[in-house]
C-alpha cells in the first residue's frame, strides 16, 4: 500500500523491488510515468496514453499470474514427493 508521505516514484521503487524478477521494470516505469502525467499535468490524456497504460498494466498482471502459476505448480509438484 502506498503510504501518504510517499511520492509516486518512491512507491514505484517499492513495487519494482517487490516484483523484481516477476514483472519487467519497463512495464512498471511506463505505467507509473503515464499515471504521473495523468495525475499532475494540465493536459488531457488521450486514447494513446490510455491504451499504453492498459497494455503495461495487463503485461504486469500477466507476469504476476504466470509467476503465481509457476509457484503453485512448484508447490504441487514438490508436495507429491
pLDDT tens digit sequence for 45-62: 999 999 999 999 999 999
Q: How confident is the model at residue 72 (pLDDT cuts 50, 70, 90)?
A: low
Which conformational region is residue 23 in: left (phi greater than 0), alpha (psi within -120 to 50 degrees), or beta?
beta
Does residue 1 have a pLDDT over 70?
Answer: no
Amino acid at each position: 500500500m502506498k503510504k501518504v508521505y510517499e511520492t509516486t516514484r518512491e512507491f514505484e521503487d517499492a513495487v519494482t523491488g517487490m516484483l523484481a524478477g516477476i514483472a519487467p521494470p519497463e512495464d512498471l516505469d511506463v505505467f507509473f510515468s503515464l499515471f504521473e502525467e495523468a495525475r499532475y499535468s494540465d493536459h488531457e490524456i488521450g486514447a494513446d496514453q490510455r491504451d499504453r497504460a492498459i497494455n503495461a498494466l495487463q503485461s504486469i498482471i500477466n507476469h504476476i499470474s504466470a509467476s503465481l502459476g509457476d509457484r503453485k505448480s512448484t508447490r504441487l509438484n514438490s508436495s507429491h514427493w
